[in-house]
Chains A and B, each alone.
Chain A
């Protein structure tokens, strides 16, 4: 029998009085995924993660981690680790003692990673005996990763792990997550950092106002959005009229410098370039531009106005 997926969320709802923080979320994270969980502040990402870890009760719906319900027993978290919001530790204990506490609550070190091993991975061995209250934000983040790795997880849930880190810390955190993914650990990465998700994740879910606006691979998301083009001709006014009349072409914006359009496919672009030449407005520049994850994120989280404006503005303002 096939093993249940690391995360399977169905119809998940969390209401706080009149407010619905998470609204009918469905989500599947498959084994080996490095899964990006994206959404603006207040979209419901952290609330979803808390329900996945059994920290808060759903108002409706279900969460299954490897087929087990974390609301019923903490045994559902076997093989699962991570943190929501910033990782927290007892400030009056040393980093080492905090890890010993985590290890003890996990049932000792039988079958688990050793504390030395995880301290080495997160490069905290030298400061392990210092009290956590003296740790920087970045060190606490790394200690959070260390405490998660102690469980030798098969599934890691990380909520904004790079928040508050300096550029070097963010780079190190990305390398660590990539490394964990390459070791076969399934990762759910909640993040605001589009480039981080684009760099690390193979699949994403974008959540808006508590609802999943998109779930799937990054490639599918890009394909769905299509390619936009920047066009300059010898006569942009005439080119605008030609584009408007051309089948499969949709003008996105015009300016004195250039024109931006979206095409159904490459054949439509080829036909357009011929039509432009025949109409006496030959092409000076025709540049395709694939939407970035950030563009797609804004499209999905803020509706059609903002992304088109942002993406198109970039297109028509790019220097030739």
Chain B
């Protein structure tokens, strides 16, 4: 039986498990919420200038929501880029593409396995950040009802559901960044350049978002999509930003993914 995408995917995960940078990213995803909660507990204040900031001492459910807002600036894009920017370029660094491409799997299967592994890592990073933030938040502030952006109070179990759904919506721009990281990794063939490039792209889009006179662009910027989950925390839920996030993120991510695949399929594998 010939090997396929699943075999490549399993081995990509195995390779990720064997590399330190994987744990660096996942470790940061777990450590940042803990540090944040420790700071809240020991400092006593709360971040007033962000949504849900004033509720962090009332309910642990507010902690992951605040973290999503802070993390969108550079933390989660950087964690995502650590693997997405490296997953193809590291093959160039180790000159191992020639090894895997002369076995019995087609190039498109290798690329698909790598893309799936990068996505898995990004999902895992967000899940770890969310779960740790929830756990630490609940330990510090309790499992209490949460006040939505519309001012209505929802029960703690319902709030937990909304936090889970928010994390899922938050994954949309994260996956778009994963695709951009994959593209840069494939084109640059250099992990450092691809990781920094991905982060720079994310920061540049945010800078465009604060430029005066470009407010018409805001709904279509990738940085804006990091806030789409807030639609879920209104009563009734506002689906418009979530639906927009869906297609805007697809608009950023899918062409990048297609371009990465095309470059990977057509490239010459020679020592650089």
Residues of A within 8 A of B (CB): 47, 50, 53-57, 73-75, 77-78, 80-93, 97, 101-102, 104-108, 110, 147, 151
Contact = CB atoms under 8 A, between A and B. Distances in A.
B18 A82 contact: no
Nearest to A55: B269
Interface residues of B, number: 30
B108 to A, nearest CB: 10
Contacts of A151: 103
B98 interface: yes
Chief secondary structure at chain B's binding surface: loop
Contacts of A54: 101-102
B262 interface: no
B271 interface: yes
B270 A56 contact: yes
B262 to A, nearest CB: 14
B110 to A, nearest CB: 9
A101 B3 CA distance: 11
The 6 residue pairs across chains A and B that have the minimum distance between CB atoms: A105-B103, A56-B268, A88-B95, A55-B269, A106-B104, A107-B3
Contacts, number: 95
B104 A74 contact: yes
B263 interface: no
Interface of B: 1-3, 7-8, 10-11, 14-15, 18-19, 94-107, 266, 268-271
Nearest to A80: B102
Contacts of B96: 88-90
Nearest to A148: B102
Contacts of B11: 101, 104-105
A83 B107 CA distance: 17
A50 B153 CA distance: 65
B2 A107 contact: yes
B8 A105 contact: yes
B102 A81 contact: yes
Contacts of B18: 90, 92-93, 97
Nearest to A150: B103
Contacts of A92: 15, 18-19
